[in-house]
Amino acid sequence: MYMTTPALHTIIKLPEPTLHRLPWYLAYVKIMQAQGVEHISSTQIAKAINVDASQIAKDLSFVNISGKTRVGYEVNTLVNVLEHFLGFNSQHKAIVYGVGRLGAALMHDSGLAQYGLEIVAGFDVRAMKQNNINGIPLYSVNEFSKKREELDAQIGILTVPVEKAQECADYMIANGIKAIWNFTPYRLQAPKHIVIQDTSIYAHLAVMFNRLNNIRGEEEK
């Protein structure tokens, strides 16, 4: 079995590329688990997801798990350790700030809870027709300070129009938010002790269009 210390993932600082790859391993190993596979080697994972086997072994060494020669990793243990390590099996309370299409979609996405994110409230500057989405209460931003404290949410999901991004981020931080999951394409400024996680889907679009056009360009040569 693996070592469990309650604060395991609070202590170890991982390289960010490793943190980006671990969910790929987890996703694949969970599929194998559902198929009843009991052991899996880094070579098998490597073949399935197209990452170098030595890279996988190195990444997994960070999470305090080691495979057995010829047998590989025990699948159930690997799933548990990765979920624990990535923070997916403890709930992190979050609020949605800006309940437009995207904000509302996130409040509907029950997948997030499986990955450790519990959305406990939504806030918007506009008057809203309903008082909840998917059972999650909606409030006016005027109630933000009070409700955030009551709910003890540390994560703010920022889904406002881009021109309001910095102002709303500042407001959340001033009222106790410690981490911002930023879905706007705006590059936020924040104090050092605040975590900013950018997920700008539009930036990904630009990268995709550029690659697609490069491939077309090469084919036309």
Q: Which two tokens stand for residue 193?
A: 């002790």
Angle, CA 87 vertex, CA 86 and CA 88 arms, to 5°: 90
Closest to a copy of itself by CB, 112 vs 125, is: 112
By CB under 8 A, what part of segment 44-103 binds a copy of itself?
48-51, 86-88, 92, 101-102
- Of 66-74, 121-129, 145-153, 173-181, the segment contacting a copy of itself by CB under 8 A is 173-181
- Of 67-75, 118-126, 141-149, 186-194, the segment contacting a copy of itself by CB under 8 A is 186-194
Q: Which residue of 1, 3, 6, 10 would you call a contact of a copy of itself, by CB under 8 A?
A: 10
Contacts made by residues 22-26, CB under 8 angstroms, sequence distance 24+: 22/59, 22/63, 22/82, 22/85, 22/86, 23/86, 24/49, 24/51, 25/49, 25/56, 25/59, 25/60, 25/78, 25/82, 26/79, 26/82, 26/83, 26/86, 26/88
Q: How far is the CB of 82 from a copy of itself (least distance, A)?
A: 9
154 is an interface residue for a copy of itself by CB under 8 A:
yes
206 is an interface residue for a copy of itself by CB under 8 A:
yes
What is the rounded distance in angstroms from the CA atom of residue 126 to the CA atom of residue 97? 11
- Of 36-44, 71-79, 142-150, 189-197, the segment contacting a copy of itself by CB under 8 A is 189-197
13 is an interface residue for a copy of itself by CB under 8 A:
yes
16 is an interface residue for a copy of itself by CB under 8 A:
yes
Q: How far is the CB of 146 from a copy of itself (least distance, A)?
A: 23
Q: Which two tokens stand for residue 50?
A: 């197209």
Closest to a copy of itself by CB, 50 vs 69, is: 50
What is the rounded distance in angstroms from the CA atom of residue 141 to the CA atom of residue 143? 5
